[in-house]
Chains A and B, each alone.
Chain A
Amino acid sequence: KQEVTQIPAALSVPEGENLVLNCSFTDSAIYNLQWFRQDPGKGLTSLLLIQSSQREQTSGRLNASLDKSSGRSTLYIAASQPGDSATYLCAVNIGARQLTFGSGTQLTVLP
């Protein structure tokens, strides 16, 4: 059974810092991996989708990498801002129309 782990569970950084969020998964047979953002009391907003054949994707200050063989993905956030404060979730697409989610990293960016 695919398991997805995100460490750390919570992270607090000062504004302007570059940071990396980690996601690991146990089965490398994935279609793709998605990173989401969730604000308190809200739904999930898709940030980046990396297909299994890709190594990385970029959107603005966000860069996500994928190393399928080692079962790891990272989300890099450059020049963090207080508005980046949220919970960040990664999810792997294992086929069979299913996403398996990690429990998330709660990020706080301090002004």
Chain B
Amino acid sequence: DAGITQSPRHKVTETGTPVTLRCHQTENHRYMYWYRQDPGHGLRLIHYSYGVKDTDKGEVSDGYSVSRSKTEDFLLTLESATSSQTSVYFCAISESQENTQYFGPGTRLTVL
């Protein structure tokens, strides 16, 4: 398995609070991605990174920001969590945009 960890694995928070999820990789892959998975919607891309300090928006980026200050870490921040952001969040990595994406174990976030 690719060396990808996500933290925390579970989190319950309240509406309006900031939340940061962390993805850490040991594979030195250039590309990193954040997805959310919801029933009826499948997996949807939130943001991705193609290098240190290089990030771009995905399909459902509103309400989310990201940062990548090191190759191995990609942070996803919800500035002010809303109930609609209750979801399972997955991080993924790949060597290039044409290569296989490898997924982390996921973070289950509940916003009350």
By a beta-carbon cutoff of 8 Å, the part of chain A in contact with chain B is 31-32, 34, 36, 42-46, 49, 51, 89, 91, 93, 95-99, 101-104
Contact = CB atoms under 8 A, between A and B. Distances in A.
A102 B42 contact: yes
Contacts of A102: 42
Given A43-B105, A97-B33, 18 more contacts: A32-B98, A34-B100, A42-B106, A43-B103, A43-B104, A44-B103, A49-B99, A89-B43, A91-B101, A93-B97, A97-B48, A97-B56, A98-B45, A98-B48, A99-B43, A102-B42, A103-B41, A104-B42
Nearest to B1: A45
Nearest to A52: B98
A32 B94 CA distance: 14
B90 A44 contact: yes
Interface string B44-70: 110010100000101100000000000
B101 A89 contact: no
Contacts, number: 55
Contacts of A44: 43, 90, 92, 103
11 contacts: A34-B101, A36-B103, A43-B106, A89-B42, A89-B43, A97-B31, A97-B33, A97-B48, A99-B101, A101-B43, A101-B44
Given A103-B42, A104-B42, A98 B100 contact: no
Given A97-B56, A98-B59, A31 B97 contact: yes
A34 B97 CA distance: 12
